Amino acid sequence: MPEWFRRKSQNIKTKNRKDTKEGMWIKCPSCGEVIYSNLLKNSFNLCPSCNHHFNFSYQDYIDLLIDDGEKIFIGKDIYSSDPLNFNSSKNYKEQLSNAETKTGINDAVVALEGKINTVNVVLIVLNFGFIGGSIGSVMGEIISRGIKHADNNKMPLLIVSASGGARMQEGAISLMQLAKMSTKMAEFSKNGGLFISLLTNPTMGGASASFSMQGDIVIAEPNALIGFAGQRVIKQTIGEDLPKGFQRSEFLLKKGFIDHIIPRNQLKDKISKLIKFFYE
């Protein structure tokens, strides 16, 4: 296949074809294969040719991991405010309102109690679609409540990370959440709780600097971007070229930063086995 056909664009424009709806075909950014969008939906958003992991929403992860049946949501009644009256090119209050309308949830995280293959767990999923999965006061409180719920009920904890880092619109209040969540996590660990951390693309900034890398078991999806600062900043700071694949899950596995890489279509089964190994 010629190189010009391997461009990174994903959506195939079909507006000039009256018999084809827009967005029905998607081009894989990894191998260039053109894929029918419904085929992706039925295969965990994995490219059938190269297994490239397309983006997966927070609701997709809940549906993938949690059994059908009753779910108890944690922190659904908490909403972000604008403590700094932050105004820049975008008004923060408008950003929050637009993100809530777009995603249907109150912040960049959802926490719930449910079952993974009949075993009760607390699942926390970050939502990158809500202001880049950024960490603010509401995320800090919801994750802290989720950890406490798991601790009080002696349940394993699973956090699915997808974040660009701290939410600058809340300034130091956002950074304080890292210490708050880490303190709750330390208590949970001291009491013998099991924390499995799943890193997805991307897991950056304050998330990777706190709870995302604190798991008893840290797993990642293939080729996920994981790190603190961006590559450009690091390269400018150290003045050297970075290794190939730097900040990708395969590189981090080789260097011992994560424990295992699990393809999305195997996540539920393997996470279930890990939980049962430690809890039975």
Domain count, the chain: 2
Question: In angstroms, rounded to a whole number, what is the distance separating the alpha carbons of residues 71 and 111?
Answer: 10
Report pLDDT for 21.
57
Report pLDDT for 15.
44
Looking at the DSSP bridge assignments, the partners of residue 132 are none
pLDDT mean by block of 10 residues, the chain; 280 residues? 43 48 82 90 91 94 96 94 88 94 95 97 97 96 98 98 95 95 97 98 95 97 95 90 92 96 97 91
Q: Pick the closest to residue 147 from 80, 85, 193 (CA basis).
A: 193
Same domain, 49 and 59: no
Question: In angstroms, rounded to a whole number, what is the distance separating the alpha carbons of residues 248 and 237?
Answer: 20
Same domain, 202 and 90: yes
CB-based contacts of 117, cutoff 8 Å, min separation 6: 67, 268, 269, 272, 276
Same domain, 38 and 160: no
Radius of gyration of the chain (CA): 20
Same domain, 132 and 185: yes
Report pLDDT for 88.
83
Residue 110 CB coordination number (10 Å)? 26
Same domain, 140 and 156: yes
Asked if 137 and 177 touch (Cβ cutoff 8 Å), the reply is yes
Same domain, 263 and 155: yes
Handedness of CA 106, 110, 112, 115 (dihedral sign): positive
Same domain, 38 and 165: no
Of 10, 27, 54, the residue that ends a domain is 54
SS3 content of the chain, % helix, strand, coil (to 5): 35, 20, 40
Same domain, 150 and 179: yes
Question: In angstroms, rounded to a whole number, what is the distance separating the alpha carbons of residues 210 and 143?
Answer: 12
CB-based contacts of 237, cutoff 8 Å, min separation 6: 229
Q: Pick the closest to residue 125 from 61, 63, 205 (CA basis).
A: 61
Question: In angstroms, rounded to a whole number, what is the distance separating the alpha carbons of residues 213 and 165?
Answer: 13
Asked if 27 and 34 touch (Cβ cutoff 8 Å), the reply is yes
Report pLDDT for 104.
93
Q: Is the pTM of this model over 0.85?
A: yes
Report pLDDT for 177.
96
Same domain, 48 and 67: no
Parallel, antiparallel, or unpaired for β 72-74 and 109-116? antiparallel
Q: In angstroms, how far apart are the furthest CA atoms of the chain? A: 62
Same domain, 15 and 100: no
CATH of the domain at 67: 3.90.226.10
Of 30, 54, 78, the residue that ends a domain is 54
- 271: which 2 tokens? 């996470």
Report pLDDT for 22.
58
30 φ/ψ sector (left φ>0, alpha ψ -120 to 50, else beta): alpha
Asked if 200 and 221 touch (Cβ cutoff 8 Å), the reply is yes
Question: In angstroms, rounded to a whole number, what is the distance separating the alpha carbons of residues 126 and 135?
Answer: 9
Domain that holds residue 89: 55-279
Same domain, 100 and 223: yes
- 231: which 2 tokens? 């590559």
**Burial of residue 21 (number of CB atoms within 10 Å: 0-12, 13-18, 19+):** exposed
Report pLDDT for 142.
97
Report helix, strand or coil for 186: helix
Token match 């009644």: residue? 77
Same domain, 142 and 215: yes
